[in-house]
Structure 1
Amino acid sequence: MNTLQGFWRLARPFWTSSEKVPALLLLAATILMNLGLVGVNILNNFWNLNFYNALQALDYDAFLISGGQFILLQVALTTFTVAAFHFQQKLTIRWLRWSITNTLQDWLKDQRYLLLQLDSPETDNPDQRVADDIDMFIVISLKLCLGLMTALVSLFSFLNILWNASGLVTIPFGTESLVIPGLLVWVALLYSIAGTGGAFWLGRALPGLNFLQQRREADFRFSLMRLREHAESIAQYRGEKAEMRTFASRLEAALQNFWELVKKQKIVLGYSTFYMRTATVIPMFIMAPQFFAGAFPLGRLTQISAAFGEVHEAMAYLVRVFPQIAEWKSVVDRLTSFQNRLDALSSNSGVNIRHQPHAFEIKKLNLWLPDGKKTLLRDFSLQLTPGDSLLIRAPSGFGKSTMIRAVCGLWKHASGSAAYDTENALILAQKPYFPLGRLRDILWYPQIADADNDPALSHALQRFELGHLIEQLDSETDWSKKLSIGEQQRCSFVRAVLRKPKILFLDESTSALDENAETLCYRYLREELPDTILISIGHRASLEQFHSRILELDKDTNALSLASREALA
């Protein structure tokens, strides 16, 4: 029941969205085509009766007529099959586009992508949930639901044919006899119940193994991806053997689980194959005595056999698709788990942040580690006005970067309040983020590049000694690999000048620059943004000249002290 509830939770948003009308029309068209296929199968059943009767009677004219009917039936079968595929794929694409877009928006909302990484590290590979699992969920769900509907329609359509064709079957018991109407219907029912129960019992471990296999394979792919992302660092450490040990360990874990999966699938496959094969001859053996006694012609025997096959196949639908059901269940479990984690994330950062356009203020800020065992900062307050600049200095591990995260709503293990121009705040990190695309788009990120501001962009690049990049603004390459860390940090200063924020946080954003380059960056930054509040984190004494106030750790009291630069001179 939990899986069905999870399925409905995942599917309902699409079927109640603005896409529901075209989606329902496509679904209706797909269902109609599948019903057409059932109708063709019914006609084909009666074709069997006439065709084999014609063969037995050596009626050549009836044989030729049956041949023409066969061609028409195959044309109809092909038409309905292709049309059903067409409408189902159009529905799949529409559902897939909506679901992925909606899930991405949900993932990006309130910076959940970051909170998920910080607070729910056990959520494995959320990118795979979006890229792979949604696709699998939609494809398998449609296939199973439409298949089940077709099976039910076929079942009720052929039950009447099989019941009437079976007639009254007499089973002798000594001097008495038992007359059973529609015997083959009861045989098909009992055989299907036994087969379905056996398949579910033998394959009960498959959903869990499928779930684990997806995780093992994703972990292996992730380790390979890290090799590509950190190739230079690994080469500098000569860490090839260590990486190979990691690869081998994760590959072995995936293969061991895969073998456990194969062993279970092997049992289910053998059972299903034997079960489906034996079903084809059961009606022949049951009806053979009457046929050889001349009770009915060959055509009726083939009709009974075909009808039994349709009824049995419909009743045994769950047996045939059990491996897909197991895979579908694991996909539903993964997606609902991912959605539960997203819903459980609180949009509250811990710090009460409010918009204030003309100043920066912190009141009673407290920070602690996620486990709650260590307090990083207690009852800290601060007020800055436009044009102020603050340098924060403290030993590594004190929580300097965490302070900025908390004030910006990126760390929820905090309390207190912060007020500033939240719509015009920018963080320059030690390792700038360079998205995919043209250099022009990267420098304007996250805003859309404005070609009308090319003179300002070119001027900023020249001032930060990046003039050689002006001719490459429209080039697309992996700029995070092509540019040195120092060049990337200077590019982040270009971003700041273009954005003109009211509050600018600089988290060791000049760590890869020498003092001359650092001086150039801060001097030009202050010239271009004289009213911007600067809050810097750094260790170099050379940074003091660019800040009017300094916040540092008092080694004696282990507390933060705030002073002006002149007071410390």
Structure 2
Amino acid sequence: MQTFRDFWSLARPFWSSSERRPALLLLSGTILMNLCLVGVNLLYNFWNLHFYNALQALDYDAFLVGGVQFLFLQMGLATFTVAAFHFQQKLTLRWRRWATENTLQLWLQRHRYLKLQLTAPETDNPDQRIADDINLFITTSLKLSLGLMTALISLFSFLHILWQASSLVRIPFAGEELVIPGLLVWAALLYSILGTGGAFWLGRTLPRLNFIQQRREADFRFAMMRLRENAEAVAQYRGENEEHVRFSRRLGAALDNFWSLVKQQKVVLGYSTFYMRSAMIIPMFIMAPQFFAGAFPLGRLTQLSAAFGEVHEAMAYLVKVFPEVAEWKSIVDRLIGFQQRLQSVGGESGVHLEHTTDGLEVKDLSLWLPDGTPLLKNFDLRLQPGDSVLIRAPSGFGKSTLIRALTGIWSHASGVARYDLGSTLTLAQKPYLPLGSLRDMLWYPSAPHPEEDPHLLEVMQQCGLSHLSNQLDSELDWSQTLSIGEQQRCAFARALLLRPHVLFLDESSSALDEESERRCYTQLKRDLPESIIISVGHRVSLDNMHGRTLDLQHRQQPESRLAYS
């Protein structure tokens, strides 16, 4: 039952959203087409009766009429199948777009995408959850639920035929003929219960194996993506052999689990195939004595055998789709875990940020590690527009963590920070360079302004990027095209273009030579005279480029802060 509650918590937001009306219309169309398909199957069942009776009676005219009826039935079957597919896919498209957009919004809000990496590394491959699992959840949920609905409708549609036909079965008992009401129905029910129970018992480990398989496949793909992102570094280390070993290890883990999954699926597949196929012969053996005694014609036997098959298949629906049910459960578990982790990460407290245009003030700021080890206690800072401060400390003293806390992306913190929240920018040690044109990349995260290209070219020249001035419209993977020094100069150009009121620089000039560093900082001070600049760095040369220097080493012992700067 927990799985169904989790399913509904994932599905309910869509069915209560503004998309509900068109979604219900598409769902109604899908259900209607499936009802029509059940109706065609019902007509086909009666067609069996008349067609095979015509064959037994050697009635050629009735045979020809049956042939024409068969063609119309197949035309109806094809039409309703295509229509049901159309409505179902349209519904899937709407649901997937809505669910993906909303999950993306939740993932991106409040820096959850970063907080998951910093505080919840056990949440593996969020990209797969959003791109693949949502799609699989929707398609599999619709397929299974519509299949179950069709099975129930088929069950009640053919149940009446089978119940009435049970009166034809007479069992010799104590010198009399015993008639058991609904014998064929009870036989189908008993056979289905035994088969369903057996399938669930044999496949009880499939959900867990499917869950593990999805995770290991995603880990393997992610490892290859990481190599592509860091291709140059791996080549410089000549780490191809080690990467191959790592790939092989992840692939081996995925394939080992896959083989365990296959072995379990073989058992379930063999059982379900034998179980489903053997059902068609049961009514024939039950009714054979009366048929050979001439109690009813061949058409009746064929009709009842088909009706028994429909009733049995409807009752045994879960056996037929058990592998898909197992996969569906693993998908639900993965998505609900992801949603819950997003909610918990988004709800974590941190530094309370308040908006003000009157400088920057930090009061009673305390930082600690996820395990509770303190980093910084009762930190206060007050800066006026135009002030600049350099935060210095050896590696491991929480310098970068301080920047994270001030920008609201480190949850293990308390205190208050007031500054212009609507005009702030952070330059990281390794800048983010999005895919797209050079113009788009330099203006990020703002929209590009082609009409300001003359100003853009001037800024590029000031930051030592004039050699790229003829590539503004080139769309490349700039993180792979530019050196780390060029990437950092691009970040400084971005700051000069966006002109933030508060600028955080986290080791953002570490790859620049001292002359380039001095030129970039000088340009910042010249073009952004009213901006507050807070830098993190180690170089002594940075002292002359800031009005104040703050040494964290003198505030607290470093032993508790190693590896968290």
- Counterpart residue identity of residue 200, structure 1: F
CA distance in 2 between counterparts of 1:254 and 1:278 reads 35
Mapped pair 1:310 → 2:310: yes
Mapped pair 1:490 → 2:481: no
CA distance in 1 between counterparts of 2:425 and 2:182 reads 78
1:555 is displaced (CA, Å) by 5.8
Give 3-state SS (helix, strand or coil) of 1:365's partner. Answer: strand
Query: 1:397: which partner in 2?
Result: 396
1:175 is displaced (CA, Å) by 3.5
CA distance in 2 between counterparts of 1:557 and 1:192 reads 71
Query: 1:371: which partner in 2?
Result: 371
1:256 is displaced (CA, Å) by 1.2
CA distance in 2 between counterparts of 1:8 and 1:514 reads 57
Question: Cα deviations across residues 494-544 of structure 1 (Å, max 9, x unaligned)?
Answer: 110111111111111111111111111111111110111111111111111
- Counterpart residue identity of residue 272, structure 1: S
1:441 is displaced (CA, Å) by 1.0
- Trace 1:384-463 onto structure 2 (pairs within 5 A): 384-463=383-462
1:168 is displaced (CA, Å) by 3.8
- Counterpart residue identity of residue 427, structure 2: L
1:468 is displaced (CA, Å) by 2.1
Question: Cα deviations across residues 462-491 of structure 1 (Å, max 9, x unaligned)?
Answer: 111211222211111101111111111011
Normalising by structure 1, what TM-score? 0.96
CA distance in 1 between counterparts of 2:175 and 2:553 reads 108
CA distance in 1 between counterparts of 2:14 and 2:449 reads 36
1:553 is displaced (CA, Å) by 4.2
CA distance in 2 between counterparts of 1:497 and 1:541 reads 24
1:46 is displaced (CA, Å) by 0.7
CA distance in 1 between counterparts of 2:345 and 2:555 reads 39
1:557 is displaced (CA, Å) by 7.4
Residues 192 and 316 in structure 2, CA contact (< 8 A), matched pair in contact too: yes
Query: 1:501: which partner in 2?
Result: 500
Query: 1:476: which partner in 2?
Result: 475
Residues 169 and 182 in structure 1, CA contact (< 8 A), matched pair in contact too: no
Residues 199 and 319 in structure 2, CA contact (< 8 A), matched pair in contact too: yes
- Counterpart residue identity of residue 117, structure 2: Q
1:425 is displaced (CA, Å) by 1.1
State the superposition RMSD in angstroms. 1.4
Question: Cα deviations across residues 98-134 of structure 1 (Å, max 9, x unaligned)?
Answer: 1100110111111111111111111111111001100
- Counterpart residue identity of residue 448, structure 1: A
CA distance in 2 between counterparts of 1:56 and 1:370 reads 81
Mapped pair 1:326 → 2:322: no
Normalising by structure 2, what TM-score? 0.97
- Trace 1:77-226 onto structure 2 (pairs within 5 A): 77-226=77-226
CA distance in 1 between counterparts of 2:246 and 2:160 reads 61
CA distance in 1 between counterparts of 2:444 and 2:138 reads 34
Query: 1:564: which partner in 2?
Result: none
Give 3-state SS (helix, strand or coil) of 2:361's partner. Answer: strand
- Counterpart residue identity of residue 318, structure 1: L
1:170 is displaced (CA, Å) by 1.9
CA distance in 2 between counterparts of 1:381 and 1:247 reads 48
* C-alpha spacing 1:335/1:348, structure 2 compared with 1 (3 Å): closer
Query: 1:28: which partner in 2?
Result: 28
Question: Cα deviations across residues 357-391 of structure 1 (Å, max 9, x unaligned)?
Answer: 12111112111111113x22121211110111111
- Trace 1:275-314 onto structure 2 (pairs within 5 A): 275-314=275-314
Name the stretch that deviates more: 169-178 or 405-414. Answer: 169-178
Question: Cα deviations across residues 25-58 of structure 1 (Å, max 9, x unaligned)?
Answer: 0000011111001111111111111111111111
CA distance in 2 between counterparts of 1:294 and 1:349 reads 82
- Counterpart residue identity of residue 406, structure 1: A
- Counterpart residue identity of residue 433, structure 1: Y
Identity of aligned residues (%): 68
Give 3-state SS (helix, strand or coil) of 2:169's partner. Answer: strand
Query: 1:567: which partner in 2?
Result: none
CA distance in 2 between counterparts of 1:307 and 1:213 reads 39
Mapped pair 1:239 → 2:245: no
Query: 1:540: which partner in 2?
Result: 539
1:450 is displaced (CA, Å) by 1.5
1:243 is displaced (CA, Å) by 1.3
Give 3-state SS (helix, strand or coil) of 1:403's partner. Answer: helix
Question: Cα deviations across residues 173-201 of structure 1 (Å, max 9, x unaligned)?
Answer: 34454321232111111111111111111
- Counterpart residue identity of residue 475, structure 2: E
Residues 363 and 382 in structure 1, CA contact (< 8 A), matched pair in contact too: yes
CA distance in 1 between counterparts of 2:379 and 2:554 reads 17
* C-alpha spacing 1:294/1:52, structure 2 compared with 1 (3 Å): same
Unpaired stretches in structure 1, ≥5 consecutive residues: 560-569
Residues 162 and 182 in structure 1, CA contact (< 8 A), matched pair in contact too: yes
CA distance in 1 between counterparts of 2:554 and 2:291 reads 102
Query: 1:63: which partner in 2?
Result: 63
CA distance in 1 between counterparts of 2:557 and 2:227 reads 40
